[in-house]
Each structure stands twice: as C-alpha cells, then as structure tokens.
Amino acid sequence: MKILVTNDDGIDSPGIWALAEAMSRVGETLIVAPDKEQSGVGTSVSLHSGMSVVEVSPPSQEVRAYAIGGTPSDCAILGLRRLAQGHTDLIASGINLGPNVGSDILYSGTVMATLQGYFRKIPSIALSLATQSREEEPRFDVITKVAEYLALSVKSGKMPTGAILNTNVPNIPLEQIKGVVITRTASNGYVKLAEVQGSSSLSYSRGIHKVAELGIEEGTDIWAINMGLISITPLRLDVTDHNLIPTLTEHILALESDLLKTAPDSTE
C-alpha cells in the first residue's frame, strides 16, 4: 500500500511526523508538505508563482519527505503527479494542531488537500487534534491509533472509501475518550474575529466553543468534540442545491421566454 501524507501546519510540525510514523506501519509512505505553515488557505493553489521542491531528511529512514514552497493542495497535486512512484492508495492529511469542524472546514488546508484524492477516487483521511491553543501540549497517542486503524481498514477493503473521512480527536488521555461517533458537519464554525489588545487591528481567534454557546445540535462534529467523543464525518463535494432546482426552473423558463422575445428575428 502506498500512502501520501501531507498537512497545512508545515513540514516542521510534529503532527505530520507522528502521522507518518503511524502510516509507515501500514504501507510505503511519502511525505509532501508545505515548507511553512499554510493554515487557512483552503483549496488555494499556486497558479501565479513557481514552487520550490526540496527533499528533506526524515527522522525515520522508512519514509521519503519533500518540503514544497506552496499550499497543501499544491503538495497533494505534486505528490500524486510527480513525486509518488506509481499509484497512490491513500492520502492522509494532518495531524492538524487544532480542530477542523463545522463550517470552518472550508478554510482548512488540512481537509481541502484531501480533495485532490477525492477527485481521483483515492481514499482520503483528514486528521485533526482538537487542541484549543498553541500553548496546549498535543497528545498524539490516541489520534495515531485512530489513523492507523482507518488506514488498515482501507487497506483491507473493509472501509467505505467514497467520501473524505474528516476525523477530529479530543486532545485528552485515552481513558477519558467517551467513544467514536459518525457525525455530520455543524453549521457553525469555531473561527471568529477578535480584537488585539492594545491595538486597533483585528485577528482571527480559534477554539472549541461550548455547545450551549452556539446551540450546537447533537450528532454534529462540534458536539462530539465537546462530549469527549472522536468525530468522523464523511465529506463529499456536491455544492448543488438540488431541492431548489424545480423552483428555479420555473423562473428561468420565464426568463428564457423574455429573452427570446427581445432577440432579433434571424429570418429578417
């Protein structure tokens, strides 16, 4: 099994090396990650600039690793098209330091990098550790076990692979984990604007809001993290509002009729 590992926290993030170690126990692992942090870039690609590609020395000789002067999506594309030796069987993105839940997954380089696998029908997993601040010590023991289990399930053919598995794990000891649940994405987010003390500027702040603060519904990813549960949300890309198509069609027929009435008669 050949596995491509990427992230948005950058090649120097401890999360990517913890994930790579877990993946190397499952299959041949290739790391292709940004040379610096690229959090919040979403699906961005480097259309108007070149990208550096530098091979780096990994802590383990079991993996190959490259630092890319680009975004997580760039890394996934380069990894799949240029750096991988043969077909890639799985993309694992992370381990992100901070949750990727709710509507904010659209900003997430960690999650959006896996779209490149989804587009190519390659099983893809995004993994995030729900730390609440940069000062909080990350615990990788639980999330790496989850990552390895999911990868092994994909390898054995037991895991459905038609969607991205967006996985968020509370940053707590294993004995405090209440369980694992399949969730849906909350309509709320966890990124908000905040004033910088002593400054006239604004910045984004991050953190897991309490369920009561946002009225989060049971069964969502944010709810699960608040409850001490591991959240796995299957994601797919279909931005069409299918329910609105019939109603819009009625209005568009009227528009079509009006346009045709004003068009010059081609027979004249």
Amino acid 127: pLDDT: 98
Amino acid 200: pLDDT: 59
Amino acid 60: pLDDT: 72
Amino acid 201: pLDDT: 57
Domains of the chain: 2-240 (3.40.1210.10)
Weakly modelled stretches of the chain, pLDDT under 50 = 193
Amino acid 266: pLDDT: 55
Residue among 31, 27, 15 nearest 84 (CA): 31
CA distance 82 to 62: 20
Amino acid 62: pLDDT: 78
Inter-CA distances, 169 with 14, 208, 221, 232, Å: 16, 12, 10, 9
Amino acid 190: pLDDT: 62
Question: Which two three-digit tokens encode residue 252?
Answer: 């568009």
Residue among 25, 238, 1 nearest 144 (CA): 25
Phi and psi torsions of 210, nearest 5°: -70, 145
Q: Please report where in the chains the tokens 């209440």 appear, as a residue.
A: 178
pTM: 0.87
Inter-CA distances, 42 with 1, 31, 182, Å: 28, 19, 23
27 CB contacts (<8 Å, ≥6 apart)? 1, 2, 3, 89, 90, 151, 155
**Cβ neighbourhood burial of 201 (10 Å; 0-12, 13-18, 19+):** exposed
DSSP H or E segment with residue 195: strand 191-195
